[in-house]
Amino acid sequence: DIIKSDPVMQVVATARDGMDAVQKVHAYHPDVVTMDVEMPRMDGLSALEEIMKTHPVPVIMISSLTQTGQDATIRSLSLGAIDFVPKPSGHISLDMNQVKDDIISKIRIAARAKSVISQQVQQSYKKPGLPKLSGWRRLNKSPSRDRLNKMVLIGTSTGGPKALHQVLPNLPADLDAAVLIVQHMPAGFTRSLAERLNHLSAIKVKEAEHGELIQAGCAYIAPGNYHLQVQNQSAAQGFLIKLDQSPPRKGHRPSVDMMFESVAELRGVQIVGVIMTGMGDDGTSGLKRLKEKGSKVLAEDQSTCIVYGMPRAAVEAGVVDRVVPLHHIADEILKML
């Protein structure tokens, strides 16, 4: 009903479970699929994986706010889902109209990403599995407590979780920089994202906590609904995470701009700023501040972006040093450091 309420959208088919969904996708060739994480016979994750292997198409997951639902949603994003919409209340939400605008907006974005998702998925299934970590990269997952003098800052939105799955696992365990990440995502889901990336990566990945010391060899993801900034303490104490719930910036909390701008105020730190797939221009004004301080800036190329919005804004503002496709970003970060 929500989809049919939009004048330019048409529901071409509905499926009663995951197995039926796979069959309907093959029969009707939809531009976009919306799919519940929890379904009988074949669940949403299994159906998503089968669809991506045989008939890649943009998929938006509809998920519950339970821990199980959050974990499954993050898994679905790594498998190729474009985005997700949390149900307003529980497994069976009779109040889905509360998220009507969100659903319609995300379907429109997904439809524009059809060609990109098809190319990405086809490439990923030609080379199944995640990058193999060599033995030396697995030896140490303890962040360094040496004085921190390098930071990598990553800002991303729609398509970001899958992009992060291709960047963080390719950074070495002995990385001599800290990584700070703002991923636009609702509260609750960022912890699941951090835990999954930590499991797959050589460096430690965690959800950021207020007041904790920032260490090299560790990636910190801003919690949903909290801005992440950096506080400069004494030389002995180093740099600390600052989380707050001050008003959203450009509709976002966390804000990429606020993280970039806070780090731009630090002294004695070499910075690499990275802007990846996402709608809008969050991050561009912060990158301007970083460039004024002599930082290097890297942007994801349009060819691999699910949504070429945030990188486009940064490129057009003239604040980007290098533009590379997603699979080269980790290597380029290491070169810039």
Q: Residue 274: CB partners within 8 Å, gap ≥ 6?
A: 152, 153, 154, 155, 167, 297, 298, 299, 300, 329, 333
Instruction: Please tell me the distance from the alpha carbon of residue 326 to that of residue 337, in angstroms, as a whole number.
Output: 18
> Average of pLDDT values for 11-39?
94
In whole numbers, what is the pLDDT of the chain averaged over residues? 89
Residue-level pLDDT at 236: 59
In the residue annotation, 282 being an active-site residue is answered as yes
Tell me the pLDDT band of 179, cut-offs 50, 70 and 90.
very high
Instruction: Please tell me the distance from the alpha carbon of residue 197 to that of residue 133, in angstroms, as a whole number.
Output: 14
Instruction: Please tell me the distance from the alpha carbon of residue 282 to that of residue 8, in angstroms, as a whole number.
Output: 28
Q: Residue 178: CB partners within 8 Å, gap ≥ 6?
A: 143, 148, 150, 151, 152, 214, 215, 216, 217, 218, 219, 220, 239
Strand partners, 324: 300
In the residue annotation, 102 being an active-site residue is answered as no
Residue from 64, 165, 184, 295 carrying the catalytic annotation: 184
> Average of pLDDT values for 27-39?
92
**Which DSSP category does 180 fall into?**
E
Question: Over 60: is that where the pLDDT of 282 sits?
Answer: yes
Residue from 36, 257, 281, 282 carrying the catalytic annotation: 282
Percent of the chain exceeding pLDDT 90 equals 74
Q: Minimal CA–CA distance to 93: which of 2, 161, 31, 217? A: 2
Residue-level pLDDT at 137: 44
- For the ranges 11-20, 116-125, 241-250, 297-306, which has the lowest average pLDDT? 116-125
Instruction: Please tell me the distance from the alpha carbon of residue 167 to that of residue 70, in angstroms, as a whole number.
Output: 21
Residue from 157, 255, 262, 285 carrying the catalytic annotation: 157
Q: Minimal CA–CA distance to 69: which of 99, 49, 42, 89? A: 89
Q: Tokens for 238?
A: 């180093």
Residue-level pLDDT at 115: 74
> Average of pLDDT values for 24-41?
92
In the residue annotation, 184 being an active-site residue is answered as yes
Instruction: Please tell me the distance from the alpha carbon of residue 141 to that of residue 274, in angstroms, as a whole number.
Output: 23
Question: Over 60: is that where the pLDDT of 43 sits?
Answer: yes
Residue-level pLDDT at 323: 98
- For the ranges 46-50, 128-132, 247-251, 291-295, which has the lowest average pLDDT? 128-132
> Average of pLDDT values for 3-28?
95
Angle at 107 between CA 70 and CA 36, to 5 degrees: 35
